[in-house]
């Protein structure tokens, strides 16, 4: 009897041990706050993944650059130190997949619908496929939103940007965007922006409002101009070797979990940005200004030459496929 009990306990412990060791852990690293579209969708995916795989997969989400900063996270994914990321689309140019920089072209998307024509259609799928030779598998696109500019002085006319230093992501297209209005581009990791604004290392920045607010940039920027001059969103990516090595049934369950998370991300993004704007206004620390139609057209006129200037970088074919999908016409203001 005593022996039988011991045997049962040992078997139970072994079963628990096996179950634990059979659990696959996916480290999902990102650089933004947990209460952003990306942060929330990552947690949503983690919950879905646990449910659909019945605990076989545990997704650990690390927000706010807790594991890696911008550039480092891409390297970490490629060597397998993390398994999943959702970098902004601008992060793929420095990786060598320059076609992604088409997303950075100013005023490329008139609306979220126009954006989805790319991200949810064949052009978007074709771009993700280009990541595979780099050991990266793209699972889908998550929205954030359109960017606005901030500084300590009002930004209404193009002349207001002249001589000011603006933090941007590492992107040759974004460098040209800032130069097109006479500003000075400064590439910097996202986690360093708040301090750079606070200490005056840079004068201003661009980002969707959810990033602006959750990084507390409104505490260190007196003026925010709603310009919607460009887009910032994400591709969810995994280490390809890791992904291909998963049992087919588990991979299928994770794909389902990702489909739901992508739908969720795209559903909440606009609302998160709206709430962030309300938060900025409520703080009373930053004056919010919405560009008039004429002011926005003047900004567009100044920035659109970036399309011609940078066309060769992303390739004429890619650019045309974007124009065809979105209906953007650089000749029309």
Residues that bind ligand LMR (CB under 6 A): 31-32, 70, 88, 144, 169, 190, 207, 211, 232
Q: Is 207 in contact with 148 (CB distance < 8 Å)?
A: yes
Between residues 91 and 240, which has the closer beta carbon with respect to ligand LMR? 91
Between residues 57 and 127, which has the closer beta carbon with respect to ligand LMR? 127
Between residues 57 and 67, which has the closer beta carbon with respect to ligand LMR? 67
Between residues 232 and 268, which has the closer beta carbon with respect to ligand LMR? 232
Task: Find the shortest distance in angstroms from Cβ 31 to ligand LMR.
Answer: 5
Task: Find the shortest distance in angstroms from Cβ 175 to ligand LMR.
Answer: 14
CA distance 120 to 122: 7
CA distance 205 to 221: 9
CA distance 83 to 129: 18
Task: Find the shortest distance in angstroms from Cβ 100 to ligand LMR.
Answer: 12
Task: Find the shortest distance in angstroms from Cβ 294 to ligand LMR.
Answer: 28
The contacts found for 307-315 with CB under 8 angstroms, 24 or more apart, are 307/105, 307/106, 309/176, 310/101, 310/105, 310/172, 310/173, 310/176, 313/98, 313/101, 313/172, 313/173, 314/98, 314/99, 314/100, 314/101, 314/102, 314/105, 314/173, 315/98, 315/99
Q: Which of 209, 169, 234, 168 is nearest to 35 (CA)?
A: 209
What tokens does 176 get?
Answer: 């040209």
Task: Find the shortest distance in angstroms from Cβ 11 to ligand LMR.
Answer: 47
CA distance 303 to 319: 16
Q: Is 102 in contact with 316 (CB distance < 8 Å)?
A: no
Q: Is 258 in contact with 236 (CB distance < 8 Å)?
A: yes
Q: Is 138 in contact with 237 (CB distance < 8 Å)?
A: yes
Between residues 57 and 92, which has the closer beta carbon with respect to ligand LMR? 92
Task: Find the shortest distance in angstroms from Cβ 82 to ligand LMR.
Answer: 15
Task: Find the shortest distance in angstroms from Cβ 170 to ligand LMR.
Answer: 9
Between residues 214 and 321, which has the closer beta carbon with respect to ligand LMR? 214
Between residues 70 and 99, which has the closer beta carbon with respect to ligand LMR? 70
């Amino acid at each position: 009897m005593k022996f039988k009990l011991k045997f049962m306990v040992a078997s139970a412990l072994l079963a628990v041990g096996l179950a634990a060791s059979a659990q696959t852990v996916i480290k999902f690293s990102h650089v933004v706050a947990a209460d952003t579209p990306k942060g929330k969708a990552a947690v949503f995916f983690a919950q879905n993944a646990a449910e659909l795989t019945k605990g076989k997969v545990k997704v650990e989400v690390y927000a706010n650059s807790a594991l890696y900063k911008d550039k480092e996270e891409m390297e970490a994914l490629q060597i397998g130190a993390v398994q999943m990321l959702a970098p902004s689309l601008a992060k793929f140019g420095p990786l060598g997949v320059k076609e992604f920089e088409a997303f950075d072209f100013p005023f490329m998307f008139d609306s979220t619908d126009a954006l989805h024509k790319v991200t949810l259609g064949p052009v978007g799928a074709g771009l993700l496929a280009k990541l595979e030779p780099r050991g990266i598998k793209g699972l889908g696109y998550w929205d954030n939103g359109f960017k606005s500019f901030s500084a300590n002085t009002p930004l209404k006319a193009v002349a207001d940007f002249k001589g000011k230093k603006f933090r941007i992501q590492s992107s040759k297209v974004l460098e040209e965007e800032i130069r097109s209005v006479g500003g000075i581009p400064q590439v910097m990791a996202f986690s360093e922006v708040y301090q750079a604004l606070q200490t005056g290392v840079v004068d201003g920045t661009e980002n969707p409002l959810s990033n602006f607010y959750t990084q507390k940039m409104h505490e260190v920027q007196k003026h925010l101009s709603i310009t919607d001059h460009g887009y910032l969103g994400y591709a969810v990516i995994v280490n390809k070797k890791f992904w291909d090595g998963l049992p087919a049934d588990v991979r299928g369950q994770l794909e389902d979990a990702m489909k739901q998370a992508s739908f969720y991300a795209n559903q909440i993004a606009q609302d998160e940005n709206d709430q962030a704007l309300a938060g900025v206004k409520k703080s009373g620390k930053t004056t919010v200004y919405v560009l008039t139609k004429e002011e926005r057209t003047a900004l567009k006129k100044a920035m659109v030459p970036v399309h011609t200037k940078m066309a060769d970088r992303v390739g004429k074919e890619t650019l045309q496929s974007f124009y065809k999908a979105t209906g953007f016409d650089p000749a029309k203001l």
